[in-house]
Amino acid sequence: MSRVGVIGIGHGKFGRRSDATVQELAFEAFRLAVKDAGIAREEIDASVVAAVPEYHKQRSVAGVVQEYLNLNPAPTWLTEVACASGSAAIRTAWMAIQSGLHKVVAVIGCQKMTELSTGEILALMGRVGEVQWESVFGTTFPGYYAMFATRHMHEFGTTREQLLQVAVKNHFYGAKNKNAMFQKEISLPTALASEAVASPFCVYDCCANADGAACLILADEGRARASGKKVVWLDGVGCASASMSVLRRPNLVGLPSAVEAARQAYKAAGVTARDIKVAEVHDCFTIAEIMAYEDLGFCKKGEGGRFIEEKRSYVGGSVAVNADGGLKAKGHPIGATGVSMAHEIVSQLRGDAGERQVPGADVGLTHNVGGIGQYTFVHVFKRD
């Protein structure tokens, strides 16, 4: 197969964006990506929009975004796999280019979540689990991941302090990211003193709902090489699924879909976990990042707590993880998250991440989870 390159990236501010509609959020990121790619919008021959429709009054989000961006009559379509929708859109664009159907595709992840109340969002999120046998008992997203945390602590001795050190790290880097929702460092004592959410979680174990958008412009190898830019290649794609019911999983200390998606992506890119210099992982809750260290092969199963405690996931450690603040500090507008992750990795591999730059970053990874691990996408990017 030929290679697919990222020739343009754009990212808007994440947060409570009462100043913009979902179309305007999409335009904010799209405008920057087109400018970065140095192309005319007429050169874009398709778009893929990532969003979860239930959060918007508009039922067919892709259509209104496509119209607002003035991309008609090029084809557009929507991808939705819960919180992994953005990475699903990137994979879809990659497949469209590999098939030869399209040469230049815009991927737009956008979501406006804060028009709903926290209670409404919790109810929607809880229904991502198995509706017939689990969500009827009042399951919530924090509740599901709290089960993972409790089991991990039981089996491996992982501590609350180790969990919250993930939050401390990600807020440290989020404070340096102008697009992050929370641009303020926190201390471990502050995190430990925050209000309880779902045992063992407190407020700082949990990411925040947000509004925002991010955009990538992908192109086939010929068009990418002709761009005259520093091209970052999407060389490894992997995805896998797992049972909707968490209680049917083989264990509650990791995500089998993440392990399989990583295996596929590493094989396709011809790399191993040791080659990854910078990674964006799905830290919807602090335990999710710790499990990701293990599922992706950055450390052995059960060693994720020590991995963060020893600062091996900081810039300068074994692999820099969530150097943009992750979902924890950046916020989690679910349709935009996977595209935002890719934006950060492309910035790092180009050497454009400023004071958050990972030295020598030439291979990067994104790990984006939908639901409670029902879907996981892992992408490996390489510097030209």
Q: For 285-316, what is each residue's pLDDT tens digit?
A: 999 999 999 999 999 999 999 999 999 999 99
Which among 201, 232, 263 is the end of a domain? Answer: 232
281/348 same-domain check: yes
User: In sequence order, what are the beta bridge partners of 112?
Assistant: 211
pLDDT(384) > 90: no
pLDDT band at 356 (very low <50, low <70, confident <90, very high): very high
pTM above 0.85, yes or no: yes
99-115: average pLDDT: 95
Please say whether the beta carbons of 274 and 73 come within 8 A.
Answer: no
Does position 128 have pLDDT exceeding 80, yes or no? no
The verdict on 284 and 223 lying in the same domain is: no
Q: Are residues 199 and 214 in the same domain?
A: no
Residue 121 lies in a domain: no
Q: What count of other Cβ atoms lies within 10 Å of the Cβ of residue 187?
A: 11
Same domain, 165 and 296: yes
Q: What are phi and psi of 173, to 5 degrees?
A: -80, -30
Give 138-159 pLDDT, tens digit per residue. 888 899 999 999 999 999 999 9
Residue among 175, 166, 167, 168 at smallest CA distance from 356: 175
Report the alpha-carbon distance of residue 343 to residue 337 in Å, rounded.
10
Question: Using 50, 70 and 90 to split pLDDT, how confident is the model at 119?
Answer: confident
Whole-number pLDDT of residue 367: 98
pLDDT of residue 80: 95
Choose the catalytic residue: 11, 83, 102, 215: 83
Distances (CA, A) of 290 to 172, 279, 303, 341: 17, 13, 9, 17
Clarify whether residues 219 and 284 are in a common domain. no
The pLDDT-based confidence of 277 (bands split at 50, 70, 90) is very high
Judged by average pLDDT, the poorest of 138-152, 175-189, 193-207 is 138-152
Q: What is the pLDDT of residue 123?
A: 77
Average pLDDT over residues 181-210: 97
Domain assignment present for residue 129? The answer is no
Instruction: Report whether 290 contacts 162 (CB < 8 A).
Output: yes
CA 293 – CA 296 distance, rounded (Å) = 6
Residue partners of 53: CB distance under 8 A and separation at least 6: 59, 60, 61, 78, 80
* Structural tokens at position 173: 């880097």
Choose between 97 and 59: higher pLDDT: 97
Catalytic annotation on 332? Answer: yes
Q: Mean pLDDT, to the nearest integer, of 317-326?
A: 98
The partner residues of 332 in beta bridges, in order of sequence, read 209
- pLDDT band for 120, please (50, 70, 90 cuts): confident
List C-alpha distances in Å: 140 to 61, 125, 150, 265.
Answer: 26, 7, 15, 30
Exposure b/e, 266-301, CB count within 10 A at least 16 = b: bebbebebebbbbbbbbbbbbbbbbbbbbbbbbbeb
**Is residue 15 domain-resident?**
yes
Which CATH number fits the domain that encloses residue 357?
A: 3.40.47.10
pLDDT higher at 384 or 256: 256
pLDDT at 129: 76
- Reference 163, options 181, 145, 140; nearest CA is 145
**Is there a domain that residue 260 lies in?**
yes
On the question of pLDDT at 126 being above 80, the answer is: no
- pLDDT for 360 beyond 90: yes
> Looking at residues 123-141, what average pLDDT do you find?
80
Residue 297 lies in a domain: yes
Q: Do residues 228 and 347 share a domain?
A: no
pLDDT confidence tier of residue 62, bands split at 50, 70 and 90: very high
> According to the model, what pLDDT value does residue 118 have?
79
Whether 169 and 250 share a structural domain = yes
Residue 365: beta bridge partners?
279, 380
Residue 230 pLDDT more than 90?
no
Tell me the CA distances in angstroms from 199 to 9, 162, 216, 296, 309, one per residue in order.
39, 15, 38, 26, 21
Mean pLDDT to the nearest integer, 348-368:
98
How far is residue 17's CA from residue 211's CA, in Å, rounded to a whole number? 6
Domain count, the chain: 2
Q: Are residues 214 and 144 in the same domain?
A: no
Q: Which residues are registered as beta bridge partners of 213?
A: 110
Around Cβ 27, how many Cβ atoms within 10 Å? Answer: 22
Q: Collapse the DSSP code of 104 into the 3-class scheme (helix H, G, I; strand E, B; otherwise coil) and give the result.
A: strand
Asked if pLDDT for residue 269 goes beyond 90, the answer is yes
Is there a single domain that holds both residue 176 and residue 280?
A: yes
Domain boundary among 232, 267, 297: 232
The one catalytic residue among 56, 152, 171, 332? 332
CA angle at 26 for the pair 25 and 27, rounded to the nearest 5°: 90
Position 245 pLDDT exceeds 80 = yes
Average pLDDT, the chain: 95
Structural domain includes residue 133: no
| Sign for the pseudo-dihedral over CA of 352, 358, 363, 367 | negative
Give the confidence band of 185 by pLDDT, cuts at 50, 70, 90.
Answer: very high
- In a shared domain, residues 95 and 199: no
For range 205-215, the mean pLDDT: 97
Q: Which amino acid is at 179?
A: N
* Domain, as residue range, for 28: 4-116+210-232
Q: Is the pLDDT of residue 281 over 90?
A: yes
Contact 5, 232 (CB under 8 A): yes
Residues 186 and 307 in one domain: yes
Residue 334 · residue 52 · CB < 8 Å: yes
Is residue 22 situated within a structural domain?
A: yes
Confidence (pLDDT) at 125: 75
Say whether both 306 and 350 belong to one domain: yes
Flag whether pLDDT at 363 surpasses 90: yes
130 in any annotated domain: no
